A and B are shown apart, each in its own frame.
Chain A
Amino acid sequence: MLGFVIRRLAWMVVTLWIVFTVTFFLMRSAPGGPFSRERKTDPLIEAQLKRRYHLDEPLIQQYGRELKNFVTLDLGFSFKSVDFSVNEIIRQGLPVSASLGIFALVFALVLGLTAGIFSAVRRGSLLDAGLMTLATIGIAVPSFVIASLAIIMFVFIVPIFPAAGWGSLSQLVLPALCLGAPYAAYIARLTRSGMLDVLGQDYIRTAYAKGLPRGRVIFRHALKGAMLPVVSFLGPAIAGILTGSMVVEQIFAVPGLGQHFVQAATQRDYTLCMGLVMLYTALLYGMNMLVDLTYQFLDPRIKLD
């Protein structure tokens, strides 16, 4: 297992370097720059700004400088929010996005697993059809529509939750539900198909034949095997959910990383954009590695190496 981890970590370095390089050159080749604004900046002032941020140097020299900064984990200051370093922005935003994400994930897991198991056990029933229709809708409807409906329902018609903002549990509920809904739907569908697959296998029949009660067979024997596709989905899903969702965060004014992600790119905030892309890459890679490690706990047939 140790060999596996070491090999994966080595590949991670290579992946990070490639992503860094592609991001760097893509960002610099996009038209406009961090100092674009409606009012033209005086050329002299712009030259001074460029010099201050080393944007007047040849591209390859800038690349070297940025790469060195990245290796030392010091990404410098944001171009657009000059009072904050990229590290600080991540330090402030990541916990918020993560809190929201964990809440959404728990909600998605509870709802998704329950719905999936019920559907699989009562396969072909009205309940199954109803739950799976709901799940399909949950996947198909974009989160801003779900969010708008949720706001109309729970903020204006039945005012039980605040419209937006951050700082209390009640402000967490609506965004977490909207963020978690599509994940819940995916998990429900994956659990259902995983369960159906496992329930048809011989060892389940053997368990029943031995006289084990139904609940014990489903939760003890079947569920573990059925979880494999769900776990593979959870890896990238956690990385995505932890770094925040632009749409949900904007609608509910949640101060997470999601909004930065999009704005840093559109506003050409080179340093912040780089920081966020690298964070996401590292998280995604780390999560996938974790998922692969988890497999062997869930399925004794899987051996790493």
Chain B
Amino acid sequence: MSARLRNLFPYFGLLLLLAALGWAVSFGRLPPADMTFCNGDEVKSLDPAVSQSDSEGNVLRALYEGLCQYDPKTLEATPGVAESWDLSDDKLTYTFHLRKNARWSDGSPVTAEDFLWSYRRFFHPGTAAVYAEEFWYISGSKTFSESKVAVGNAVEVELQDKPDDGLEPLYGKLLKIEEPKIKDPDEAQAALAKVFTVEIGGKTRRFTRGDRPAAPDIEGCKHVLPSFDTVKVRALDPQTLEIKLDNPTPYFPQLTGFFAMYPVNRRCVQKYHLPDWVRPENIVTNGPYTLQLRRMRDRVRVVKNPNYWNQKQVFLNVIDILPIKSSTTALNMYLTGQVDWILKLPAPVVPVLLAANRPDYQPQAVLGTYFYRINCSPPDPKATESDVKQQIRRALSNVLVRRALNMAIDKQSIVDGVKHGRDQLARSLVPPKMNEYMHHEPALCEEFNPLAARKLLAEAGYPEGRGFPKISILLNTDEDHRAIAEFVQSQWQQNLRIKVGIQEKEFPSMNDSCERLDYDVCRAGWFGDYTDSNTFINVFKSDNGSNQTGWKSETYDELLRQAHHEPSPARRSQLFHDAERVLMDEMPIIPLYFYASPEMARTYLKGWYPNAQTLHPYIGMSIDPAEKKAVLAREGK
């Protein structure tokens, strides 16, 4: 190494550093947006069928429009792409009349065929839409999604060499299903080994699912499905879509405005495929806005869609949607005037904001309940007396114990202490807010009463908590959840004299424990997807995957089955009430409080209204520039 080279080295290092610095501070500048808001999280996808959370909903609502949309105040279904709709007398067939001037962002008309194709894609097992099950109200859709085929029926076969979302199958008639000789215990694997003989265009061909056919005369295919004709969605003409349901579903028009049910542009999807078709340069949408820019963790920028039919009602030209995860950061940006609307607040500032009585923070009740699940699965009869886990099962599967646990919690103190009086204590599963949408008389559980709780526990065989095994409360790591759990823990220890632990896990681990029923008591929250009690009551049906308590009640299931077939709204409400009564008598869950909306929006953001599902359509939203100036000036910005 020469000395000269060595002497040059520091200068070289300095030069490198300066060059790096120059690169680091070079920015492309974006002009400011008309309105900016903090979305809770990064969006998973801009494909409606793949989406699965409200943060995606907030972006998709700008880009797409369903058959119906929502009234910004009441959430009632209002005309979207469908100008109007009729319901048959048996309350099962909806006929949607599409408006003639509905256009895609490329200028082509939005037709009934577009909806038909989008729904087909949505229910298709290859799409694996997580929300598909929420829409199995449509006749035949469940069989289609589950690819249940029967010999003699029309089927469609998706070949291996076709792209996943092309949906260009071969149509034929199913002649024979051969089960494998040795049955695989894993059901999914067993389904893969079946051989289907299908007559296609006069020729007989044999298929198995997957790319590894067992014999040379068998072709590998992606799917063998019932023909989509068996799903009762019909395009009667370009402007008329007919949908038949299995049961009367009064909230169905609302559901067609749900983000997962938005139509997608067939030509765009088939040309580019997922994920390329959702890129700004390719995507074709039919909503009030089109996608201009998408940078992960930075922003989604949407601009007004010049082809939108109702663009007279679209007042904001550019909207920036920021995926801000930290609620403190969001609040800082809000207070300094960088954003106009935030979806959540850090818990410690709530009392300060409430005390300030700000016009832009008036928390409203929403359709959401915070509760504890109790693992009700019965003990193993073969287990020994000393097995602690079985002792816990024995205790918690006793309804007297569960009632005692509920009665020993002073829920008002949680609401006042941890939630700062913003939320409302809960004695039922369905929030009272539901009463604004349908008559729902809540079935209440017992009130806070430590004396009666102790008595119940004694009756169950644990006088003064003697002999009661130590149970633990499972939660996902979060300050608020922990504060509540600590409070419940102290209440149970004080009022029932039982030992209680707290176990924290990250969200997927907690979820996994819940699904496997490997917990004692676990925190949970549920938000309504639509304004009908069913969205809550249905959760605790025996076969619902979200039940996760091990609790099964035939009475409950039967009441729900009756409610689903009941055309009369009054009797239907009564059936839901009766079902909730069963739930509140047996207490597989302990309702703790009803959520209030954590949103904050500037008063100069016009056309934005608080509502029960914190769902805000962009049509009709505007910013009053004079008021904005005045408000920000008053705050010294």
Contact = CB atoms under 8 A, between A and B. Distances in A.
Q: How large is the interface on A (under 10, 10 to 19, 20 to 34, 35 or more residues)?
A: 35 or more
Nearest to B518: A31
A168 B27 contact: yes
Given A40-B515, A253-B326, A159 B637 contact: yes
Contact of B296 (A92, A159, A162): A92
A255 B52 contact: no
Contacts of A197: none
B336 A162 contact: yes
B545 A168 contact: no
B312 to A, nearest CB: 32
Interface string A183-198: 0000000000000000
Given A82-B45, A162-B336, A251-B328, A31 B509 contact: yes
B44 A80 contact: yes
A47 B24 contact: no
For B294, B297, B508, the residue with the greatest tally of chain A CB atoms inside 10 Å of its CB is B297
B126 A48 contact: yes
A40 B274 CA distance: 25
Interface string B278-291: 11000000000000
Given A36-B512, A93-B297, A250-B329, A81 B21 contact: no
Contacts of A240: none
Contact of A106 (B1, B17, B515): B17
A81 B637 contact: no
A33 B508 contact: yes
Given A93-B297, A159-B637, A164-B324, A45 B129 contact: yes
B511 interface: yes
Interface string A215-241: 000000000100000000000000000
Contacts, number: 185
B25 A256 contact: no
Contact of A30 (B43, B145, B322, B509): B509
B338 A49 contact: no
Nearest to B186: A56
A56 B6 CA distance: 57
A46 B336 CA distance: 43
Contacts of A40: 515, 544-546, 548
Interface in B160-188: 164, 188
Interface string A152-175: 000110010011111111001000
A45 B45 contact: no
Interface stretch (A66-74, A126-134, A293-301): A293-301
Contacts of B30: 167
B313 interface: no
Interface string A229-270: 000000000000000000000111111100110000011100
Contacts of A52: 126, 128, 164
A103 B336 CA distance: 25
B9 interface: yes
Contacts of A80: 42, 44
Contact of B511 (A37, A93, A96, A298): A37
A83 interface: yes
B277 to A, nearest CB: 10
Contacts of B326: 250-251, 253
Interface string B29-72: 11000000000001111110010100000000000000000000
A44 interface: yes
Contact of B336 (A84, A159, A167): A159
B98 to A, nearest CB: 28
A172 B322 CA distance: 17
B524 interface: yes
A268 B46 CA distance: 21
Given A40-B545, A163-B338, A167-B27, A83 B275 contact: yes
Given A106-B21, A164-B329, A255-B295, A38 B52 contact: no
Nearest to A35: B130
A196 to B, nearest CB: 21
Contacts of B324: 164, 253
Contact of B275 (A43, A82, A151, A159): A82
B478 interface: no
B507 interface: yes
B247 to A, nearest CB: 18
B327 to A, nearest CB: 11
A32 B509 contact: yes
B607 interface: no
A49 B128 contact: yes
B466 interface: no
Contact of A259 (B23, B27, B297): B297
A172 B512 contact: no
B358 interface: no
Contact of B338 (A96, A109, A165, A172): A165
Interface in A10-56: 30-33, 35-45, 47-49, 51-52, 56
For B28, B128, B275, the residue with the greatest tally of chain A CB atoms inside 10 Å of its CB is B128
A70 B544 CA distance: 39
B476 to A, nearest CB: 10
A1 to B, nearest CB: 9
B133 interface: yes
Given A31-B508, A84-B275, A38 B524 contact: yes
B125 interface: yes
B20 interface: yes
A40 B50 CA distance: 16
B525 interface: yes
A81 B513 contact: no
Given A89-B296, A162-B338, A253 B329 contact: yes
A102 B17 CA distance: 8
A87 interface: no
B412 to A, nearest CB: 26
Interface string B1-31: 1010110011000000100110111011110
B17 to A, nearest CB: 6
Given A38-B525, A89-B296, A250-B325, A99 B24 contact: yes
A19 B322 CA distance: 34
B298 interface: yes
A77 interface: yes
B16 to A, nearest CB: 10
Given A40-B545, A48-B128, A103 B24 contact: yes
A98 interface: yes
Nearest to A32: B508
Nearest to B136: A42
A134 to B, nearest CB: 24
Contacts of A33: 508, 512
Interface string B120-136: 00000110111011000
A296 B43 CA distance: 49
B514 to A, nearest CB: 9
Given A31-B509, A38-B511, A163-B332, A99 B278 contact: no
A98 to B, nearest CB: 7
A98 B24 contact: yes
A37 B133 CA distance: 15
B504 to A, nearest CB: 13
B23 A163 contact: no
Contact of B332 (A155, A256, A296): A155
A267 B336 contact: no
B188 A297 contact: no
Top 6 nearest A-B pairs by Cβ distance?
Answer: A32-B508, A40-B545, A255-B297, A255-B298, A163-B332, A99-B24
8 contacts: A31-B513, A42-B545, A44-B125, A49-B128, A56-B188, A93-B297, A166-B298, A259-B297
Given A40-B548, A296-B1, A298-B6, 11 more contacts: A31-B512, A39-B546, A45-B125, A52-B164, A83-B47, A109-B17, A163-B336, A167-B28, A169-B27, A224-B10, A253-B324
